[in-house]
Amino acid sequence: MWLYWSRLPRVVYALTSHDAPIKPKALSDLYPRWYGTRELLLHHRDPYGIEVSREIQIAFYGKVLDPSRPDEPRDQQRFAYPLYVVFLLAPTVHMDFHTVRMVVWWFLAFVTVLGAVCWLRFFRLHLSLPALVAFFAMLLSSVPAMQGVSLLQLGLLVSCFLSAAALSVISGRLFLAGVLLALATIKPQLSVLPIAWFALWALGDFRQRRSLLAGFGTTLAALILASEYLLPGWFLRYPSALRAYAGYTSAKSLLGVLFPATLSWLVSLAALFIAAWFCWRVRRQPVNSIAFAIALGFASALTVSIVPTVVAPFNHVLLVPVVLLMILHGKDLWRINSFNRLACVLFCGFGVLPWLLVLVLALVPSRADQSWLLSSAPLSASLALPFAAFGALLLMRRLVVSHSSTTNADPTAAGLAVG
C-alpha cells in the first residue's frame, strides 16, 4: 500500500480536487490554515479577508481565481476553519512551511496511533502482540490514514480528540471529556454528531453527568471569546465563510455524491431516524455498555455518510471504533443466523478490498500508471466501508438485548460488552 501511494502521488488528491486546466501545487490541506494563522498572529490580518484569500490562491494556483469563469478550479482554498484553530497552529508560525509539513506529518501519524490506542483502552480490548502489530500496520497503511497524513488533514486530530473524550468518559473524567469535545469543534462537520450523542447521554442522567456539559460549554466559550479578542467580530462573519466554503466545495454528502438528490435525502433521513431512535432509547445506559459504544458508532458512521463536505476517504478514520466493535462482537453476530454471517463476511470484505486492489495494481503497474480509473480504484473502494459499518451497527442492536439480559441475570458480569 505504501509503495502504491508513493508511486502514484496524484491519488493523494483523489476525491478532494476537481479536474481543471490549472493544477494546484501540492501544498496540502494545511497550508490555508497555516497561512491564515501566520497572517493573523504575526501581521494582525483577517484570515477570512479577501486579500489573504487571494494570497493563498496565488500560492496554490499561481493566480487569483475568478469564480465567474467555468474553467477555473472550484476549490478556492480559503481559510474556512473556526478562528480558534490558530491556537493549535500558533507554535508553527515562525517556521517555514517546508519544516511545518515535516513536523505536522509526524504529528498526525502520532495522533492517528494515539487515537487508536485510546479506542483500544476504551473497549478494554487486549490483543496479543502479533495481533497488535497487525492492527497498527493495517491502520497506518489504510486509505484513510495515508490520505489524511499525506494531505496534512486536521481531521485526524479531531478523530483523536473524540477517541480521547470517549476514554475520558469511561475513566470517569467527564469534565476533561467535555474539554476534548470542545477542541474537536475545530472541524464542526466531523464532530457535531458525536458531540450530539455525548450531550444526549449526559442529559440522560444530568445530575451525574453534567460535568461533561460544563467542560464542553466552558472550553468552547473560552475559545470563542479568546478568538474574539484576537479578531473582533469573527464569530458573526464566520457563517458567511462557511456558506462560501459550502458553495465552492459543492457541499454534498457521500450519499449525495453516489445517489440522486431525492434518493439521497430519503436514505439520509431514514438512517438518521434509525440512529436517533436507538440513541434516544439507550441514552441512560452506562458508558461501559455495548449500547453506548453502538450509539457512538452510529454517530461516526452517519458523519461520514450524510454530513455535507465529509466525502473524502480520510474522514473514515472515524470508523475505527466500529471496526473494534466487530472484532469484539463478530463471533456473537456470527452465531445468530446465516444472514448475520453474510453481513460479517461483507463487512470484512469491504474492509480489506482496498489492499486487495493494490495487490492487483501491483501486477499491472504500466496500465495503472496510464489509467486514472485503475489508479483510483483503492480510494473508490474505500467508500463502501461507511455503508458496511452502518449495516453492521444495525445488526449489533440486537446484542444490546442479549447483553442486558446477561447483566440482569448476573450482577457481577462485565455489564457490558465492551470488554
Q: Average model confidence (pLDDT) for the chain?
A: 84
DSSP state of 313: G
pLDDT band of residue 68 (cuts 50, 70, 90) is: low
Q: What pLDDT, on the 0 to 100 scale, is given for residue 249?
A: 66
Long-range contacts made by residues 55-63, C-beta under 8 angstroms, separation at least 24?
Answer: 56/31, 56/32, 59/25, 59/27, 59/31, 59/35, 60/24, 60/25, 60/27, 60/31, 61/22, 61/24, 61/25, 62/22, 62/25, 63/22
Query: How many Cα atoms occupy the beta-carbon half-sphere of 324 within 13 Å?
Result: 31
Residue 169 identity (one-letter amino acid): V
Is residue 102 over pLDDT 90? Answer: yes
Angle subtended at Cα 101 by Cα 93 and Cα 317, rounded to the nearest 5 degrees: 115
Report pLDDT digits (tens) over 240-259.
Answer: 777 777 766 667 888 888 88
Q: What pLDDT, on the 0 to 100 scale, is given for residue 361?
A: 79
Q: What pLDDT, on the 0 to 100 scale, is given for residue 319?
A: 93
Task: Find, among 189, 159, 166, the residue nearest to 292 by Cα.
Answer: 166
Is residue 12 over pLDDT 60? Answer: no
φ/ψ of residue 64, rounded to 5: -85, 135
What is the mean pLDDT of the segment spanning 12-39?
A: 67
Is residue 419 over pLDDT 70? Answer: no
Q: What is the number of other CB atoms lying within 10 angstroms of the CB of residue 38?
A: 22
pLDDT band of residue 186 (cuts 50, 70, 90) is: very high
pTM for this model (two decimals): 0.88
The answer to whether the CB of 384 falls within 8 A of the CB of 357 is no
Is residue 197 over pLDDT 90? Answer: yes
Q: Which helix (H) or strand (E) holds 209?
A: helix 206-230
DSSP one-letter string for 263-292:
HHHHHHHHHHHHHHHHHHHTTTS-TTSHHH
Q: What is the number of other CB atoms lying within 10 angstroms of the CB of residue 349?
A: 12
Report pLDDT digits (tens) over 342-400.
Answer: 878 888 888 888 888 888 877 775 554 455 666 778 888 888 889 888 988 988 887 77
pLDDT band of residue 331 (cuts 50, 70, 90) is: confident
Is residue 179 over pLDDT 80? Answer: yes
The answer to whether the CB of 186 falls within 8 A of the CB of 151 is no
Cα 234 to Cα 230: distance, rounded to the nearest angstrom: 9
Report pLDDT digits (tens) over 308-321.
Answer: 888 888 999 999 99
Which residues are CB-contacts of 166 (< 8 A; sequence separation ≥ 6)? 118, 119, 122, 177, 296, 321
Is residue 168 over pLDDT 50? Answer: yes
Q: What pLDDT, on the 0 to 100 scale, is given for residue 80?
A: 84
Task: Find, among 55, 317, 323, the residue nearest to 187 by Cα.
Answer: 317
φ/ψ of residue 16, rounded to 5: -125, -5
The answer to whether the CB of 178 falls within 8 A of the CB of 216 is yes
With cell 470517549, the residue in question is 166
Q: What is the number of other CB atoms lying within 10 angstroms of the CB of residue 310?
A: 23
Report pLDDT digits (tens) over 107-152.
Answer: 999 999 999 999 999 999 888 899 999 999 999 999 899 989 988 9
